[in-house]
Amino acid sequence: MEETWRWFGPADDISLEEIRQTGATGIVTALHEIPYGEVWPEEAIRERQATIARAGLTWSVVESLPVHENVKRGAGDLDRIFGNYRTSLRNLARCGIRTVCYNFMPVLDWTRTALAHPLPTGATALRFDAVLHAAFDVLMLERPGAEAEHDPGVLERARRWFARATQADKDALLATIMAGLPGAYDRYDIPGLKAVLASYAGIDAATLKAHLARFLREVVPAAEEVGVRLCIHPDDPPRPLLGLPRIVSTHADLADIVGAVPSRANGITFCTGSLGAGAANDVPAMARALAPHVAFAHLRNVRKEPDGSFYEADHLDGDVDMPAVVAALLAEEARRKAAGEADWRIPFRPDHGHQMLSDFGRRTHPGYTLIGRLRGLAELRGVVAGLSHRPAR
């Protein structure tokens, strides 16, 4: 498996020189400065690619080539947006970059309620708290009908939190919910968020699935033509949020997506953390069943709680049986190699590392620390080495 590392470009506080010292060889990045729906020019791609190459690394995966919000809503001049997306795929292929991650989460990307949840070790982790989510949805956003979508016990605890919360507490919760990366550039206040949510009125899960299927029909043939593998990222967390449907959350969802437009170019980013946050998801079984469609892997772990809350655990110490997942991906690599596939390796990256040691005080993106992810990468590297070991005869 190819070891890769998420890098947010020249503005990232973690340098390419530091990344090279982690042992990772591939970079996962994007042209974040280009607005959603616009073409990624070949010149800009090559310029970023050259910057990465000068550090002795390779741009292995695009994460993400974003899907414009109008595609998810099924509104506006979609022919232009689809055409631009196809052009960007062709430009990436001309530069030799052929793995492209994207997501189809409406409005928000990954969502948490705490960015520095304290752990017993003194490190901190990202956390999603069902109580705080309910407090935000029902009492701050005041979304009509929201009460019926939350467990009564969770809602009662949310009311108690809200009664004692200061304005600073509420402002911090809004800022945290808006902090998901690589989400949209927009950061909303409460009125702004209400307005954008209203733009999804009448869009249920079935409608959103139809919009995704249309997107796939429009872009997968172009990706297949130039040898690009598109790979959809699961919902994070895998549940409806703020009245917005989520359609990439379960085994059935992923099977429907790859079946909607059958093609090697229509694949999956297998994220063990996103899928692992779903109480009904058997992540190792999903890895085994969906392995032929996996083009990229995010390997991280979560620890779930009965009320739907979860936090980011150590990479090998959460609810997901990580060695079982890695074994499934290694078996798929072996199958591809035996079949003579040239690009048989599956790139993976450690994800959402804890903040620890010298990470404190650095201005890194939430979850994208240096030492925390380095620890995760080292642990995953050990799992891969152990499972791949063949004793000397």
DSSP state of 121: T
C-alpha–C-alpha distance, residues 276 and 303, integer Å: 8
C-alpha–C-alpha distance, residues 77 and 373, integer Å: 40
CB 173 within 8 A of CB 135: yes
Residue 137, C-beta contacts closer than 8 angstroms, at least 6 positions apart: 143, 146, 149, 150, 241, 242, 243
Strand partners, 269: 296
Which residues are annotated as catalytic? 233, 271, 298, 351-352, 368
C-alpha–C-alpha distance, residues 17 and 19, integer Å: 5
CB 219 within 8 A of CB 86: yes
Q: Is the peptide bond before 64 cis (omega within 30 degrees of 0)?
A: yes
CB 79 within 8 A of CB 21: no
DSSP state of 241: B
Phi and psi, residue 52, nearest 5°: -65, -40
3-state secondary structure of 320: coil
DSSP-H helix ranges across the chain: 16-22, 42-54, 69-73, 78-94, 130-134, 152-164, 167-177, 190-198, 205-226, 251-260, 272-276, 283-290, 322-338, 371-388
Edge-to-edge strands of the sheet including 301-304?
114-118, 124-128, 310-313, 301-304
CB 19 within 8 A of CB 60: no
C-alpha–C-alpha distance, residues 348 and 26, integer Å: 9
Instruction: Write the burial class of residue 163 (CB in 10 Å: 0-12 exposed, 13-18 middle, 19+ buried).
Output: exposed
CB-side neighbour CA atoms (13 Å) of 333 = 17
Amino acid at 281: N
